[in-house]
Amino acid sequence: MKLEDMILQRVKDMPPSGIRKYFDMINEMKDVISLGIGEPDFVTPWKIREAGIYSLEQGHTHYSSNAGFIELREEISKYLDSRYKLNYDPISQIIVTVGGSEGIDIALRALVGPGDEVIIPEPSFVAYKGCTAFTGATSKIIELKAENEFKLTAKQLEEAITPRTKVVVIPFPNNPTGAIMTKEELEPIVAVLKDKDVIVISDEIYAELTYDEEHFSIASFPEMREKTIIINGFSKAYAMTGWRLGYACGDAVLIDAMKKIHQFAIMSAPTTAQFAAIEALKNGQEEVNEMVKEYNRRRRVLVNGFRKMGLDCFEPKGAFYVFPCIKSTGLTSDEFCEKLLISEKVLVVPGSTFGACGEGFVRACYASSMDQIQEAVKRIERFVSSIKNTENI
Ligand SMILES: Cc1ncc(COP(=O)(O)O)c(C=O)c1O
């Protein structure tokens, strides 16, 4: 038996991650400033950690119910209501997952299979396309454009929908561009979707991390409430990436279907993390606000830094990424990142990782300390001016 022949073709077809090689490279290097990884540099606030530790001391080391502790689902329900005016029944309309990642996976697995199409606006988080491919469904990509501030337009959406479309991913606030969509900007999108038999997976994992504008969920439109699954979680807002905890909310019919997959594949999300998350929702908002304030300061430094270097840089309104255009350097995204890493020891990620239309851009994550960001800006500036000087020779 050839083991290779036993692997499913759609798994074999999955290309290796575009950023893997950079992480391998930095493992071999010293003094690298990494603006590469999309996770908070903050440690989970102490009271949240303490709640996790206390739950262990109390001996809470067993499974929770499949959908998660009811106390946590009640807190999620209260939070969504008070923060975003979203009403979800804790018993039937919320499921606690292993990060937002599991939510995306089981939502897609519950909804699509071979022959179905999933509309994915790009550049965006790589899991949408990956998880879609593993279901056997086809991704239909919409290219978000810098001139539209990386927002989805109704025209693009209308043109992408076919009789096979079953799901549309709405990825805002966006990783990697930092784009958001306001209520007014979502209205024409809703007008396209409201009479279509299409489910929206709205990835709102960065909902807490917005600057200037509050996050607005597409599920807040009454006509979208039934056909939207919201994906959210604790990783980004509460600096809890390693706890692996997220949640999905939606109509009971959809959540029920997701629960079936979750119950066999996962059983239940981590118990310690669930205790910590209850504390996060009950008492963590102040810490979130502090972290957002700090991200905002860093965002400005990085955006101004790129602009001063002469690179076009869209002003991100959410998440913790800056997505400058590097086309003026004459380098591809990959060349830019590799040369920058080798010559100045700063890691940023090629925009092409997040979809072909991300070519010509790089993603820099500002969930790093202010000192590191300031030093990174100096080094990137030196790198960019060295390229421009070489061009002039
Ligand atoms: C847009 C987006 N959605 C979901 C996730 C998944 O996060 P987690 O599984 O840690 O909740 C990420 C992680 O980077 C992300 O960027």
Q: Tell me, what's the pLDDT at 392?
A: 57
Q: Report residue 27's pLDDT band, with 50, 70 and 90 as the boundaries.
A: confident
Q: What is the whole-number distance in angstroms between the Cα of residue 25 and the centre of ligand 1?
A: 24
Residues with CB under 6 A from ligand 1: 38, 99-101, 125, 175, 203, 205, 233, 235, 241, 246
**Measured from the CA of 101, which atom of ligand 1 is nearest?**
9
Calculate ∠ Cα 75-80-85, nearest 5°: 140
Q: Tell me, what's the pLDDT at 17?
A: 79
For residue 47, which of 326, 285, 219, 363 has the smallest C-alpha distance?
285
Ligand 1 pocket test, candidate residues 125, 131, 144, 202, most atoms within 8 A of CB: 125
- d(CA 357, CA 229) in angstroms, rounded, equals 26
Check whether 246 has a pLDDT greater than 70.
yes
* Neighbour count for residue 193 (Cβ, 10 Å): 25
Domains of the chain: 3-44+286-387 (3.90.1150.10), 46-283 (3.40.640.10)
**Which residue CA neighbors atom 3 of ligand 1 most closely?**
205
Q: Report residue 192's pLDDT band, with 50, 70 and 90 as the boundaries.
A: very high
For residue 201, which of 177, 178, 171, 226 has the smallest C-alpha distance?
171
Check whether 391 has a pLDDT greater than 70.
no
Ligand 1 pocket test, candidate residues 235, 247, 354, 365, most atoms within 8 A of CB: 235
**Measured from the CA of 39, which atom of ligand 1 is nearest?**
14
**Measured from the CA of 124, which atom of ligand 1 is nearest?**
1
**Measured from the CA of 234, which atom of ligand 1 is nearest?**
11
Q: Across residues 261-272, what is the average pLDDT? A: 98
Q: What is the whole-number distance in angstroms between the Cα of residue 233 and the centre of ligand 1?
A: 8
Q: Across residues 101-111, what is the average pLDDT? A: 98
Q: Tell me, what's the pLDDT at 18?
A: 77
Q: Tell me, what's the pLDDT at 123?
A: 98
Strand 199-203 to 165-170 pairing:
parallel
Check whether 191 has a pLDDT greater than 80.
yes
Residue 122 burial (CB < 10 Å; 0-12/13-18/19+)?
A: buried
Q: Report residue 23's pLDDT band, with 50, 70 and 90 as the boundaries.
A: confident
Check whether 146 has a pLDDT greater than 80.
yes
Question: Cβ distance 382 to 369 under 8 Å?
Answer: no
Percent of the chain with pLDDT over 70: 99
Question: Cβ distance 384 to 362 under 8 Å?
Answer: no
- d(CA 332, CA 345) in angstroms, rounded, equals 18
Q: What is the whole-number distance in angstroms between the Cα of residue 106 and the centre of ligand 1?
A: 14
Check whether 393 has a pLDDT greater than 60.
no
Q: What is the whole-number distance in angstroms between the Cα of residue 100 and the centre of ligand 1?
A: 6
pLDDT digits (tens, 9 = 90+) for 358-377: 999 999 999 999 999 999 99
- d(CA 81, CA 88) in angstroms, rounded, equals 8
pLDDT digits (tens, 9 = 90+) for 205-239: 999 999 989 999 999 999 999 999 999 999 999 99
Q: Tell me, what's the pLDDT at 24?
A: 86
pLDDT digits (tens, 9 = 90+) for 326-340: 999 999 999 999 999
